Amino acid sequence: MPYNIKLDPEVYSEIQNAVNYYNKIDPNLGERFLLVLNDYIDHLISNPFYQIKYDNIRCLYIKPFPFLIHYLVIEKTNIVRILAVIHASKNPEKWPKDIIN
């Protein structure tokens, strides 16, 4: 059964920041990042069960970009809740504690 994707509000600004960064490097790179990210998010609709990295949070590496999609799978309601799309070098333990509530 397909899962519904829900993005936390902060995720939109994280994605926009990444697009802005890549567009400074190359005007087409931000769009490429978005296309690749969308492909990975679409994949989560049918197959969200990647390895749990910490607590109940799963991570999916966005190749070739050094970003991770951090998300929860809520099986009761068939929802994939995307908590963050952040650079792989950032420490998720520094997130506010209410992010997983």
Domain positions in the chain: 4-100
Radius of gyration of the chain, Cα coordinates, nearest whole angstrom: 13
What was the pLDDT predicted at 94? Answer: 60
Distance from C-alpha of 86 to C-alpha of 69, rounded to nearest angstrom: 7
pTM score of the predicted model: 0.87
Q: What is the CATH number of domain 4-100?
A: 3.30.2310.20
Average pLDDT rounded to a whole number, residues 68-91? 92
Residue 50 has pLDDT above 60, yes or no: yes
What was the pLDDT predicted at 89? Answer: 84
| Residue 17 pLDDT class (50, 70, 90 cuts) | very high
**Cβ-based neighbours of 12, under 8 Å, separated by 6 or more:** none
Distance from C-alpha of 73 to C-alpha of 5, rounded to nearest angstrom: 10
Average pLDDT rounded to a whole number, residues 95-99? 52
Distance from C-alpha of 74 to C-alpha of 81, rounded to nearest angstrom: 7
Residue 95 has pLDDT above 60, yes or no: no
